[in-house]
Protein backbone atom coordinates (compact mmCIF):
# COMPACT_ATOMS: atom_id res chain seq x y z
CA UNK A 1 0.00 0.00 0.00
CA UNK A 2 1.32 3.44 -0.91
CA UNK A 3 2.52 5.75 1.84
CA UNK A 4 -0.05 8.43 2.56
CA UNK A 5 0.52 12.17 2.72
CA UNK A 6 -0.79 14.31 5.58
CA UNK A 7 -0.72 17.96 4.57
CA UNK A 8 0.04 20.31 7.46
CA UNK A 9 -2.50 23.10 7.92
CA UNK A 10 -1.50 25.31 10.83
CA UNK A 11 -4.19 27.82 11.79
CA UNK A 12 -1.86 29.56 14.23
CA UNK A 13 0.05 32.83 14.49
CA UNK A 14 3.25 31.23 15.81
CA UNK A 15 4.01 27.83 14.28
CA UNK A 16 7.72 27.43 13.67
CA UNK A 17 7.75 27.53 9.86
CA UNK A 18 4.44 28.94 8.71
CA UNK A 19 2.79 30.68 11.64
CA UNK A 20 0.54 33.53 10.61
CA UNK A 21 0.49 32.59 6.92
CA UNK A 22 -3.21 31.80 6.99
CA UNK A 23 -5.16 34.91 7.96
CA UNK A 24 -8.60 33.61 8.91
CA UNK A 25 -10.69 30.57 8.16
CA UNK A 26 -11.26 31.32 4.48
CA UNK A 27 -7.54 31.27 3.68
CA UNK A 28 -7.08 28.06 5.66
CA UNK A 29 -9.99 26.37 3.93
CA UNK A 30 -8.63 27.35 0.51
CA UNK A 31 -5.20 25.99 1.45
CA UNK A 32 -6.70 22.70 2.63
CA UNK A 33 -8.69 22.25 -0.58
CA UNK A 34 -5.58 23.01 -2.61
CA UNK A 35 -3.50 20.50 -0.62
CA UNK A 36 -6.01 17.80 -1.46
CA UNK A 37 -5.86 18.71 -5.14
CA UNK A 38 -2.07 18.52 -4.92
CA UNK A 39 -2.19 14.99 -3.56
CA UNK A 40 -2.68 15.09 0.21
CA UNK A 41 -4.62 12.09 1.51
CA UNK A 42 -5.48 13.91 4.72
CA UNK A 43 -5.26 17.54 5.79
CA UNK A 44 -4.03 17.82 9.39
CA UNK A 45 -5.53 20.93 10.99
CA UNK A 46 -3.88 22.36 14.10
CA UNK A 47 -4.67 25.44 16.16
CA UNK A 48 -1.86 25.37 18.73
CA UNK A 49 1.84 25.62 17.95
CA UNK A 50 4.05 22.83 19.29
CA UNK A 51 7.35 24.45 18.27
CA UNK A 52 10.07 24.41 20.97
CA UNK A 53 9.33 27.05 23.58
CA UNK A 54 5.75 27.65 22.48
CA UNK A 55 3.16 28.61 25.07
CA UNK A 56 -0.25 27.01 25.41
CA UNK A 57 -3.53 28.37 24.11
CA UNK A 58 -6.91 27.79 25.70
CA UNK A 59 -9.15 25.05 24.30
CA UNK A 60 -11.73 27.73 23.48
CA UNK A 61 -9.24 29.68 21.35
CA UNK A 62 -7.95 26.51 19.70
CA UNK A 63 -11.52 25.50 18.83
CA UNK A 64 -12.30 28.96 17.49
CA UNK A 65 -9.39 28.53 15.09
CA UNK A 66 -9.88 24.97 13.93
CA UNK A 67 -13.54 23.92 14.10
CA UNK A 68 -14.87 26.13 11.30
CA UNK A 69 -11.98 25.04 9.07
CA UNK A 70 -12.54 21.34 9.80
CA UNK A 71 -16.28 21.58 9.20
CA UNK A 72 -15.85 23.46 5.92
CA UNK A 73 -13.16 21.13 4.61
CA UNK A 74 -15.18 18.04 5.53
CA UNK A 75 -18.17 19.55 3.72
CA UNK A 76 -15.93 19.93 0.65
CA UNK A 77 -15.11 16.22 0.78
CA UNK A 78 -11.62 16.70 2.21
CA UNK A 79 -10.44 14.00 4.63
CA UNK A 80 -9.40 15.90 7.73
CA UNK A 81 -7.43 15.09 10.86
CA UNK A 82 -7.12 17.28 13.93
CA UNK A 83 -3.77 18.01 15.56
CA UNK A 84 -4.57 18.65 19.23
CA UNK A 85 -3.56 17.89 22.79
CA UNK A 86 -7.04 18.64 24.13
CA UNK A 87 -9.70 15.97 24.48
CA UNK A 88 -12.58 18.44 24.22
CA UNK A 89 -11.15 19.88 21.01
CA UNK A 90 -10.67 16.36 19.65
CA UNK A 91 -14.27 15.43 20.45
CA UNK A 92 -15.68 18.57 18.85
CA UNK A 93 -13.40 18.15 15.83
CA UNK A 94 -14.68 14.62 15.21
CA UNK A 95 -18.24 15.92 15.48
CA UNK A 96 -17.31 18.57 12.90
CA UNK A 97 -15.99 15.93 10.50
CA UNK A 98 -12.42 15.02 11.49
CA UNK A 99 -11.57 11.42 10.65
CA UNK A 100 -8.37 11.06 12.72
CA UNK A 101 -6.98 12.48 15.97
CA UNK A 102 -3.29 13.38 16.01
CA UNK A 103 -2.10 13.97 19.58
CA UNK A 104 1.58 14.84 19.92
CA UNK A 105 1.42 13.84 23.59
CA UNK A 106 0.01 10.38 22.89
CA UNK A 107 -2.75 11.03 25.40
CA UNK A 108 -0.46 12.21 28.20
CA UNK A 109 -1.43 15.90 28.12
CA UNK A 110 -5.14 15.31 28.72
CA UNK A 111 -6.33 12.30 30.74
CA UNK A 112 -9.67 12.31 28.87
CA UNK A 113 -8.11 11.88 25.43
CA UNK A 114 -8.09 8.07 25.34
CA UNK A 115 -11.75 7.97 26.35
CA UNK A 116 -12.67 10.42 23.60
CA UNK A 117 -10.75 8.39 21.01
CA UNK A 118 -12.31 5.14 22.20
CA UNK A 119 -15.81 6.59 21.98
CA UNK A 120 -15.19 8.15 18.57
CA UNK A 121 -13.67 4.96 17.16
CA UNK A 122 -11.29 6.89 14.90
CA UNK A 123 -7.57 6.34 14.21
CA UNK A 124 -5.32 7.86 16.87
CA UNK A 125 -1.73 9.00 16.40
CA UNK A 126 0.24 8.23 19.56
CA UNK A 127 3.44 10.26 19.40
CA UNK A 128 6.47 9.85 21.64
CA UNK A 129 6.39 12.80 24.04
CA UNK A 130 8.18 13.74 27.22
CA UNK A 131 6.65 17.11 28.01
CA UNK A 132 5.24 20.38 26.72
CA UNK A 133 7.06 22.56 24.20
CA UNK A 134 8.18 25.10 26.80
CA UNK A 135 10.70 22.70 28.34
CA UNK A 136 10.94 19.69 26.04
CA UNK A 137 14.53 20.40 24.93
CA UNK A 138 15.76 19.79 28.48
CA UNK A 139 14.25 16.30 28.30
CA UNK A 140 16.37 15.20 25.32
CA UNK A 141 18.44 12.79 27.43
CA UNK A 142 18.88 9.19 26.25
CA UNK A 143 21.35 6.35 26.64
CA UNK A 144 19.84 4.52 23.66
CA UNK A 145 17.30 6.72 21.91
CA UNK A 146 15.82 4.01 19.69
CA UNK A 147 15.31 1.52 22.50
CA UNK A 148 13.97 4.12 24.92
CA UNK A 149 11.56 5.69 22.45
CA UNK A 150 10.26 2.23 21.49
CA UNK A 151 9.76 1.29 25.13
CA UNK A 152 8.03 4.55 26.04
CA UNK A 153 5.79 4.41 22.96
CA UNK A 154 4.74 0.85 23.70
CA UNK A 155 3.90 1.84 27.26
CA UNK A 156 1.60 4.55 25.90
CA UNK A 157 -0.02 2.09 23.52
CA UNK A 158 -0.66 -0.33 26.36
CA UNK A 159 -2.25 2.43 28.41
CA UNK A 160 -4.56 3.83 25.72
CA UNK A 161 -5.63 0.31 24.76
CA UNK A 162 -6.34 -0.39 28.44
CA UNK A 163 -8.59 2.68 28.37
CA UNK A 164 -10.57 1.32 25.44
CA UNK A 165 -8.81 2.45 22.26
CA UNK A 166 -8.94 -0.21 19.54
CA UNK A 167 -5.35 -1.41 18.91
CA UNK A 168 -6.08 -1.38 15.18
CA UNK A 169 -6.71 2.37 15.43
CA UNK A 170 -3.30 3.13 16.97
CA UNK A 171 -0.72 4.86 14.78
CA UNK A 172 2.81 5.34 16.13
CA UNK A 173 4.90 8.48 15.68
CA UNK A 174 8.49 8.49 17.00
CA UNK A 175 8.21 12.22 17.64
CA UNK A 176 11.07 13.70 15.63
CA UNK A 177 12.12 17.01 17.15
CA UNK A 178 10.17 16.54 20.37
CA UNK A 179 12.64 16.17 23.25
CA UNK A 180 15.25 15.05 20.73
CA UNK A 181 18.35 16.63 19.27
CA UNK A 182 19.57 16.22 15.69
CA UNK A 183 21.54 13.05 16.37
CA UNK A 184 18.52 11.48 18.09
CA UNK A 185 16.31 12.31 15.10
CA UNK A 186 18.70 10.80 12.58
CA UNK A 187 19.10 7.69 14.74
CA UNK A 188 15.33 7.22 14.88
CA UNK A 189 15.00 7.62 11.12
CA UNK A 190 17.82 5.15 10.57
CA UNK A 191 15.98 2.60 12.73
CA UNK A 192 12.48 3.28 11.43
CA UNK A 193 11.94 -0.38 10.57
CA UNK A 194 12.21 -1.12 14.31
CA UNK A 195 9.02 0.90 14.80
CA UNK A 196 7.25 -0.50 11.74
CA UNK A 197 7.96 -3.99 13.07
CA UNK A 198 5.94 -3.26 16.21
CA UNK A 199 2.81 -4.02 14.20
CA UNK A 200 1.13 -0.63 14.15
CA UNK A 201 1.00 1.92 11.37
CA UNK A 202 3.80 4.51 11.62
CA UNK A 203 3.62 8.23 10.88
CA UNK A 204 6.79 10.25 10.27
CA UNK A 205 6.80 14.02 10.79
CA UNK A 206 10.14 15.45 9.68
CA UNK A 207 8.89 18.39 7.64
CA UNK A 208 11.09 21.51 7.86
CA UNK A 209 12.42 20.49 11.27
CA UNK A 210 15.65 21.95 12.55
CA UNK A 211 17.73 18.79 12.25
CA UNK A 212 17.37 18.92 8.46
CA UNK A 213 19.57 22.01 8.49
CA UNK A 214 22.48 19.60 9.10
CA UNK A 215 22.47 18.74 5.39
CA UNK A 216 21.92 22.28 4.07
CA UNK A 217 24.15 25.33 3.55
CA UNK A 218 24.43 27.60 6.60
CA UNK A 219 22.36 30.35 4.98
CA UNK A 220 19.47 28.09 3.94
CA UNK A 221 15.98 29.33 4.76
CA UNK A 222 12.99 27.42 6.09
CA UNK A 223 11.56 26.57 2.66
CA UNK A 224 14.98 25.21 1.64
CA UNK A 225 14.28 22.32 4.00
CA UNK A 226 11.47 21.07 1.73
CA UNK A 227 13.75 19.09 -0.66
CA UNK A 228 15.41 17.42 2.33
CA UNK A 229 11.96 16.66 3.73
CA UNK A 230 10.95 15.04 0.44
CA UNK A 231 14.01 12.78 0.53
CA UNK A 232 13.26 11.79 4.13
CA UNK A 233 9.67 11.07 3.10
CA UNK A 234 10.82 8.73 0.33
CA UNK A 235 13.23 6.94 2.67
CA UNK A 236 10.50 6.66 5.32
CA UNK A 237 8.19 5.13 2.72
CA UNK A 238 10.87 2.64 1.76
CA UNK A 239 11.19 1.70 5.44
CA UNK A 240 7.46 1.00 5.61
CA UNK A 241 5.97 4.20 7.00
CA UNK A 242 2.20 4.38 6.67
CA UNK A 243 2.22 8.16 6.22
CA UNK A 244 4.37 11.28 6.23
CA UNK A 245 3.25 14.66 7.56
CA UNK A 246 4.52 17.51 5.39
CA UNK A 247 4.18 21.16 4.43
CA UNK A 248 5.08 20.75 0.74
CA UNK A 249 2.61 18.27 -0.71
CA UNK A 250 3.65 18.38 -4.40
CA UNK A 251 7.33 17.71 -3.67
CA UNK A 252 6.37 14.86 -1.37
CA UNK A 253 4.01 13.36 -3.96
CA UNK A 254 6.86 13.37 -6.49
CA UNK A 255 9.33 11.85 -4.05
CA UNK A 256 6.92 9.06 -3.14
CA UNK A 257 6.21 8.38 -6.81
CA UNK A 258 9.96 7.97 -7.41
CA UNK A 259 10.22 5.65 -4.41
CA UNK A 260 7.36 3.49 -5.68
CA UNK A 261 8.87 3.16 -9.14
CA UNK A 262 12.31 2.44 -7.73
CA UNK A 263 10.86 -0.30 -5.54
CA UNK A 264 8.78 -1.72 -8.38
CA UNK A 265 11.85 -2.13 -10.57
CA UNK A 266 14.27 -3.34 -7.90
CA UNK A 267 15.85 -6.66 -8.69
Catalytically active residues, by annotation: 209, 245
Q: Could you give phi then psi for residue 253, rounded to 5 degrees? A: -60, -45
For the chain, where are the alpha helices, taking DSSP H only? 25-38, 59-75, 87-96, 113-120, 145-162, 182-190, 192-196, 225-238, 249-265
How many CA atoms lie within 13 Å of 126's alpha carbon, on the beta-carbon side?
Answer: 29
Specify the pairing of strand 100-103 against strand 201-204.
unpaired
- Specify which residues 245 forms β-bridges with: 6
For residues 104 and 126, give the distance between their C-alpha atoms in angstroms, rounded to a whole number: 7
CB neighbourhood size of 183 (10 A): 13
DSSP class of 47: S
CB neighbourhood size of 115 (10 A): 17
CA dist 43 to 38, 89, 134, Å?
A: 11, 16, 26
Q: How many residues does the chain have?
A: 267
Amino acid sequence: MSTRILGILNVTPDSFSDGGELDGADAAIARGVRMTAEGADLVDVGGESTRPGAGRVSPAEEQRRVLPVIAALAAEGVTVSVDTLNADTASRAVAAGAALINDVSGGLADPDMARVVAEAGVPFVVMHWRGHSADMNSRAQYDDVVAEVRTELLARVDEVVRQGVDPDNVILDPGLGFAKNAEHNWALLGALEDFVDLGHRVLVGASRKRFLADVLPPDAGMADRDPATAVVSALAAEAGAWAVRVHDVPATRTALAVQREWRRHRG
